[in-house]
Amino acid sequence: MRKFIIDTDTASDDAVALVLALRQPDIDVKAITVVAGNVPLAQGLQNALYTAELCDASVPVYAGCAKPLLRELETAEAVHGEDGMGDIGLPLCGREPAPGHAADVLRQAIKSNAGDITLVTLGPLTNVALALLREPELAAKVSRCFIMGGIGTGHGNVTPTAEFNIWVDPEAAKIVYESGLPISMVGWDISWQYATFDADQADEIRRIGTPLAEFVIDIQKTLTEFSMRENALAGFDLPDPITMAAAIDPSVCRYKRYRVDVTTGEGLARGITVVDRLAVTGREPNVDVAVSADRQAFVKLLKRSVS
């Protein structure tokens, strides 16, 4: 059994990523830790708890940071709906998280499974940064850290040069990227190129006919409208699920190793993942950056997980 910890700001694409992980027979999800990002912390918790329940998974879900390290929280309900799950009327209330703070849970779980734990981050990196600030040596105890964040090449989705997760808490991202963690970064560029679903492709998954198949498509309602209107996509894209797929199946993404730094300025200088493709800085590469993906392998994994 492979051991995973998932840190998430649970909205509609995060929920699909959780389904992928929780439905793998060879993956033991030790904990789901929640951070504020797409939605406020309380809503993200309910969304994660609901998704785990739908998967019949008895995985503990923990509350983490309700705001970035140094900034006010900026959320994305316009993208994912007021409830983060497409506003389709799901009963997203009344569930209780496990006791304990996510940063402490991350520290404990990583130390307890040192060298044998995969960390998958799907939201702002606040929880992870806080854990590393308290215990920097954790970085060497993680087998691999898959980050849905940043941009390997191309344009951003919140500014022309920044991706949402990094932009929300760039100070946290800078700490994580400079920590020595063995990072595989799956940027938004991978998602819109390889994980976009138009209406026919979405219907193909929904027609599998299981409650999970219907769930993973129906909750993209608001995201579909936003992505077509604002991002010029043919439908919705799934950045968190393709990152999770890369963590589950190493053949999903192809990587190149680069130096990546994170900017912490304001305006257009906020939250950029600066990828040194030509090694002009002369600095040691620190991140495996996804440069392409196998869409067929990703879709096959998604279909199998909801069947």
- Give per-residue pLDDT as tens, 16-69: 999 999 999 999 999 999 999 999 999 999 999 999 999 999 999 999 999 999
pLDDT value for 299: 98
- Give pLDDT, residue 14: 98
Q: Where are the domains of the chain?
A: 2-306
Contacts of 275 (CB under 8 A, 6+ apart): 150, 151, 152, 153, 258, 259, 260, 289
* d(C-alpha 132, C-alpha 183), whole Å: 14
The residues, ordered by sequence, that sit 6+ positions from 223 with a Cβ below 8 Å of its Cβ are 12, 13, 79, 80, 81, 86, 236
Q: Which positions of the chain have pLDDT values less than 50?
A: none
pLDDT in the model for residue 266? 97
Q: Would you state the CATH architecture of domain 2-306?
A: Alpha-Beta Complex (3.90)
